[in-house]
Structure 1
Amino acid sequence: MGVFDFIKAAGERLGIGGAPATSESKEVTPPPTAEQVQALVAKLNLAVDDIQVKLNGDTVEVSGTAASNEAREKAILAAGNIAGVARVSESITTPDGEAASTFYTVVKGDTLWKIAESHYGKGKGGKYTVIFEANKPMLKDPDKIYPGQNLRIPAL
């Protein structure tokens, strides 16, 4: 079980055309409903069974059983990268023995290449594809990340 912080003003706007909000946005986005969050996570087919979502203010509480730690982490990111969500509290069970990824919050000027070099080392920018693959299906294009978005950074 863990609690993960997100930037409330950044993320996908559910029910408002889906365009990402940024942390610099002045628009006030209403918090999502538990049903909207649960539908988004289910739509992404993240291999989390019996997923349950509750909303407590700007905190999303997610529970269920994930097929892997990767599926668990993707469910956390899917729930947290929604405008209006500041925190995800999760109690998703997973099989034992899988390594956890690092979570990273995108800042203005970041690219997946720069993020890969900062996490994997100088000259390893080409490993951005590992980060891109680790964040599918939430990321659909490696060039479309935005400030405030949280990403999984798996170990190499």
Structure 2
Amino acid sequence: MSVNEKSQTTSDRRRIQKWTSELRPLLSIVKSTSAAPDEVDLDLTMQPVVDGYDIGFQSSASDGIRLRWSYLRSLASVSTEGQGSHPGLLILDEPAQQGIEADSVVTFLDILASMSTSTQMLITTSEPPARLADWLGDTEFQLIDLGDERLLKLLEAE
């Protein structure tokens, strides 16, 4: 069965409208430039679109990351605040990838820090601990530094 407007309840439409209203300002704050934030909508499959076209494939790599940041943060925020079915766990792997500028990453970390405490966030990164401390400033966080170790290691062939 395909997703269509008839399969959405009034409550579904309100949630998507709220989600869109959370998503758009985040796109502005993180300086996403591939599309005007006020033109971004969520289609019936909850994909970000402009004029019905998926913008995830029509943007630069760094704007794609900014879109993902904003999408995931707005989804978690709307769902946890509106008694949605989000598990309250946000996991981001290397948010500073694709050559994202440091000031954009700091802005995004500030946005995450402003979320309600009902959402736990796990962020993996290869950034040095001193840089993270500088970026996060007075924000409360727990750092688990693996040093030069990695979670996955190559096994020696016998």
Which has the higher Rg, Structure 1 or Structure 2?
Answer: 2
Of Structure 1 and Structure 2, the greater strand share is in 1
TM score, norm. by length of structure 2 = 0.35
Q: Which has the higher contact order (CA 8 A, sep 6+)?
A: 1
Of Structure 1 and Structure 2, the greater helix share is in 2
